[in-house]
Amino acid sequence: MQGQAQELRRGTVVLACLVLLEEPQYGYALLETLEAAGVAVEGNTLYPLLRRLEKQGLLTSEWNTDESRPRKFYSVSTEGAVVRAELVDEWRGLVTSISALTKEDS
């Protein structure tokens, strides 16, 4: 059951990142924000994921060296914003379909 739930959550992390990274954020801060928002994700999943999204052109990044340690800030690119809009639509559609299905069930 835990494996299935994890499988279900996997795609939502990408969507949550695309939504949250409207404001530039660095890895650990994003992890905390996600956690506070109730999206459970491990660091060893999130950090490589951010790089993959960047490689796919959905995120851009910039090093900030003003603070005590250099941090890589990620934010959504124009292409990322387009994908995000599509994913949000997809998500709403899924919620509608699944709630309709589960209503019939009970």
Q: Which residues make up the interface to another protein (CB under 8 A)?
A: 26-29, 32, 42-45, 47-49, 51-52, 55, 63, 69-72
Nearest to 31 by CA among 80, 61, 70, 74: 74
The CA distance from 99 to 65, in Å, is: 47
Instruction: Give me the least distance between CB of 52 and another protein, in Å please.
Output: 6
Instruction: Give me the least distance between CB of 40 and another protein, in Å please.
Output: 13
Q: In terms of CB distance, is 45 or 96 closer to another protein?
A: 45
How, if at all, do strands 59-64 and 25-26 pair? unpaired
Q: In terms of CB distance, is 69 or 103 closer to another protein?
A: 69
